[in-house]
């Protein structure tokens, strides 16, 4: 996977996430981002990465496809639609209101901290006052008691990897995702918890 250097900058900036520290390096220029990543790795005594490897990581982490990247081999994303959010909400609502066990708050907050900085954490686009479906999306979080809200609840939106509402997704125990066949990135808490 390679960055298309003739494409516009996606969503404001190109970004690379360090899988070791979780920190981001961003730049408006893909070429300058690649140089910054190389400097970062060198100054931290880490193994160097080729330009192709860095570009591939950027495309993969950001879930980019054409026109931004020249291949469609990124970890497939489901995207965020009203249908995916609605299906997930039904599952989460049945789990939460049905009295099933939820993840401990320490785990919920840890998951939320990962999701808050994830490039797949996206807002549903549009105007909430113009489209009632958008207000319904944010209202989904209202099924949680106030005490169950994660510390970073205001920074959690929707996961473009699986199409779920993140404030609810972080609440469910990992065994609630046994039937989930989504291919999550290596930095995702679902990947880590599944082992």
Looking at the predicted structure, is the pLDDT value of residue 174 above 80?
yes
How many structural domains is the chain composed of?
A: 2
| 142 and 86 both lie in a single domain | yes
Do residues 91 and 24 touch, judged by C-beta distance below 8 A? no
Q: How confident is the model at residue 73 (pLDDT cuts 50, 70, 90)?
A: very low
Residue 70 lies in a domain: no
| 92 and 57 both lie in a single domain | no
Looking at the predicted structure, is the pLDDT value of residue 10 above 90?
no
| 93 and 150 both lie in a single domain | yes
Residue range 94-151, pLDDT digits in tens: 877 777 789 999 999 999 998 888 878 887 655 555 556 666 777 777 888 889 899 8
Higher pLDDT, 42 or 57: 42
Higher pLDDT, 77 or 148: 148
| 99 and 187 both lie in a single domain | yes
Q: What is the mean pLDDT of residues 46-60?
A: 87
Do residues 59 and 3 touch, judged by C-beta distance below 8 A? yes
Do residues 115 and 167 touch, judged by C-beta distance below 8 A? no
| 111 and 178 both lie in a single domain | yes
| 104 and 190 both lie in a single domain | yes
Do residues 168 and 140 touch, judged by C-beta distance below 8 A? yes
For residue 114, CA distances in Å to 42, 105, 161, 186 come to 25, 14, 14, 12
Quick one: tokens of 177?
């995702």
* DSSP 8-state class, residue 69: B
Looking at the predicted structure, is the pLDDT value of residue 72 above 50?
no
């Amino acid at each position: 996977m390679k960055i298309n250097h003739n494409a516009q900058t996606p969503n404001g900036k190109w970004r690379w996430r360090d899988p070791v520290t979780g920190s981001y390096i961003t730049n408006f220029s893909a070429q300058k981002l690649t140089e910054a990543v190389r400097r970062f790795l060198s100054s931290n005594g880490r193994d160097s990465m080729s330009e192709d490897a860095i570009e591939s990581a950027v495309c993969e982490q950001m879930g980019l496809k054409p026109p931004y990247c020249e291949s469609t081999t990124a970890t497939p994303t489901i995207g965020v639609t009203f249908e995916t959010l609605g299906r997930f909400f039904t599952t989460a609502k049945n789990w939460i209101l049905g009295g099933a066990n939820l993840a401990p708050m320490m785990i919920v907050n840890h998951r939320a901290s990962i999701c808050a900085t994830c490039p797949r954490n996206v807002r549903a686009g549009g105007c909430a006052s113009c489209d009632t479906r958008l207000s319904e999306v944010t209202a989904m979080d209202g099924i949680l008691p106030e005490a169950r809200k994660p510390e970073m609840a205001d920074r959690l939106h929707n996961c473009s990897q699986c199409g779920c509402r993140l404030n609810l997704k972080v609440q469910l125990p990992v065994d609630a995702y046994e039937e989930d066949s989504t291919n999550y990135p290596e930095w995702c808490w679902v990947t880590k918890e599944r082992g």
